[in-house]
Amino acid sequence: MTQRATDSVLNSTGGAAAAPAPALEVRGIRKVFRERRSEVHVLEELSLRVLPGEFVSIIGPSGSGKSTLFHIIGGLIAPDAGQVLMEGREVTGEKGRIAYMPQQPALFPWRTIEDNVLLPEELRGTSKASARAHARAWMERAGLGGFEQAYPHTLSGGMQQRAAFLRALMSPQEVMCLDEPFSALDALTRSDMQRWLLDIWEDTRRSVLMITHHIEEALLLSDSIYILSARPGSVLKRVEAPFTRPRREDLLLDPSFIELKSEISAVLRQEQQKRN
């Protein structure tokens, strides 16, 4: 990759070209946690956006405020400054605006896999027959056909994660927030899940914001990547992944992929050294 090409991919967040109204926009978020006489500055002037149908990842050092940012976007905690907007409307502090998938599947153990998957439509008041048909169609596609009446504890970690993702997918919200969804999986299962998620997402094109610590995963899945600084978290760089879709695993061996991975890794190492 030439220096000019690198510069066009690895850019600061300023001077972004005009784009459609973001599905999600975070502006100038600041968060400080206070306990007795101590203060922990977690986020500082953090801004990012997710365009409609865009897959965006956040990557950064541990403790850089990534999960706190998700809690702010989901309305679970309030920022000390800044705004959260969806389709141009401010929704700061409002709950129920995103579909959320946590690090662990968080399936209800007393519900069958099918009943877990169709829960969002059940809460919307969709007829049971319609919700069940919709859930079964997705489960068949996700490789969960035949496990509709199974309970979560009887399934492998990867199958539980598929069910959790389908539950988020069946939620009515346009924006999906995925918080390190594959972190608890072994390397082989994680690779399988990445391929599966690519296939599902490329058909649905939901607007996704994902937290990950894996550079390869971020580059393989994402249209753009925000690299965060060490705490207090702010955006160091916004990286556009210049790879055509559909993407397949052989992309990991592409020289331009390897070079961009190395550049992002260098940015993160440099930031980690500042903490040390």
Q: Say how far apart CA 228 and CA 216 lie, in whole Å.
A: 16
* Strand pairing report for 55-59 and 81-86: unpaired
- 146 and 53 share one domain: no
Q: Say how far apart CA 168 and CA 173 lie, in whole Å.
A: 9
- 188 and 156 share one domain: no
- Give Cα separations from 83 to 14, 96, 192 (angstroms): 18, 16, 36
- 78 and 180 share one domain: yes
> Is 43 in contact with 78 (CB distance < 8 Å)?
no
- 82 and 200 share one domain: yes
> Is 252 in contact with 216 (CB distance < 8 Å)?
yes
Mean pLDDT, the chain, integer: 86
**pLDDT by residue (tens digit) across 169-194?**
888 888 999 998 888 788 888 888 88
Number of structural domains (the chain) is 2
The two tokens of residue 41 are 């500055």
- 143 and 249 share one domain: no
Strand partners of residue 211: 58, 179
Q: How confident is the model at residue 3 (pLDDT cuts 50, 70, 90)?
A: very low
- 116 and 239 share one domain: no
- 222 and 87 share one domain: yes
The two tokens of residue 173 are 């919200």
- 55 and 32 share one domain: yes
CATH code: domain of residue 85: 3.40.50.300
- 210 and 182 share one domain: yes
* The last residue of a domain, from among 134, 157, 172: 172
- 152 and 224 share one domain: no
The two tokens of residue 97 are 């605006």
**pLDDT by residue (tens digit) across 207-245?**
999 999 899 999 999 999 999 998 888 999 999 999 988
* The last residue of a domain, from among 141, 172, 203: 172
* Strand pairing report for 89-90 and 99-101: unpaired
| The pLDDT value given to residue 18 | 54
What is the domain extent for residue 146? 103-172
User: Tokens 């784009």 identify what position?
Assistant: 19
User: Tokens 């190492």 identify what position?
Assistant: 269
* Strand pairing report for 224-228 and 207-211: unpaired
**pLDDT by residue (tens digit) across 20-57?**
689 999 999 999 998 777 888 999 999 999 999 999 99
User: Tokens 């209800």 identify what position?
Assistant: 108
* The last residue of a domain, from among 172, 197, 216: 172
Residue 200 has pLDDT above 60, yes or no: yes
Question: Whole-model pTM?
Answer: 0.85
- 160 and 226 share one domain: no
* Strand pairing report for 10-11 and 235-240: antiparallel
- 60 and 161 share one domain: no
* Cis peptide bond N-terminal to 22, omega within 30: no
Residue 82 has pLDDT above 90, yes or no: yes
| The pLDDT value given to residue 4 | 38
